[in-house]
């Protein structure tokens, strides 16, 4: 997938990341009938939300989609002959997972660029994660 320039609906979509953007897009494409794989390095989806909400959300999503929590993506390659992505991830326990997917979406976080805005001059306080 290149910047949402899809010409047709993906048959299979693997999403690396488990935050709200990953889950929103998983729900969108999944509702259309796309087979969804989500690889999340933390133990729950939407980990920045309330713990109970994150746990319940992960349970519900795991019933609809292939959710792999506690997995760190180690390698992604594309087979040009089959036009599929090959994703290798490893669980915290050491067990490896391999997935083939027609499309790949990376939604593994953002890095704020507020340091380039000279916000100190305006009196706006910032943290490592961005604005406060």
Mind listing the domains of the chain with CATH numbers? 12-131 (3.50.50.60)
**Predicted local confidence at residue 4, as pLDDT:** 63
User: What's the whole-model pTM score?
Assistant: 0.82
Q: What DSSP letter does each residue of the chain carry, written as one string?
A: --TT--SS--SEEEEE--SHHHHHHHHHHHHHT-EEEEEESSSSSSTTS-HHHHHHHHHHHHHHSEEEETEEEEEEEEETTTTEEEEEEEETTS-EEEEEESEEEE-------GGGGTGGGGT--EETTEE-
Percent of the chain at pLDDT > 90 equals 71
Residues 76-130 have pLDDT tens digits of: 999 888 889 999 999 999 999 999 999 999 998 777 677 777 777 888 777 766 6
**Predicted local confidence at residue 109, as pLDDT:** 78
pLDDT band at 54 (very low <50, low <70, confident <90, very high): very high
């Amino acid at each position: 997938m290149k910047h949402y320039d899809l010409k047709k609906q993906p048959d299979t979509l693997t999403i690396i990341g488990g935050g709200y953007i990953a889950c929103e897009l998983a729900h969108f494409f999944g509702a259309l009938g796309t087979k969804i794989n989500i690889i999340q390095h933390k133990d729950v989806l939407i980990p920045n939300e309330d713990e109970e909400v994150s746990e319940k959300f992960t349970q519900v999503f795991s019933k609809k989609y292939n959710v792999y929590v506690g997995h760190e993506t180690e390698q992604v390659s594309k087979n040009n002959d089959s036009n599929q992505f090959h994703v290798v991830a490893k669980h915290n326990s050491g067990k490896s997972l391999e997935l083939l997917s027609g499309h790949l979406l990376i939604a593994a976080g953002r890095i704020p660029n507020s340091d380039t805005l000279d916000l100190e001059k305006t009196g706006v306080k910032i943290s490592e994660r961005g604005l406060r």
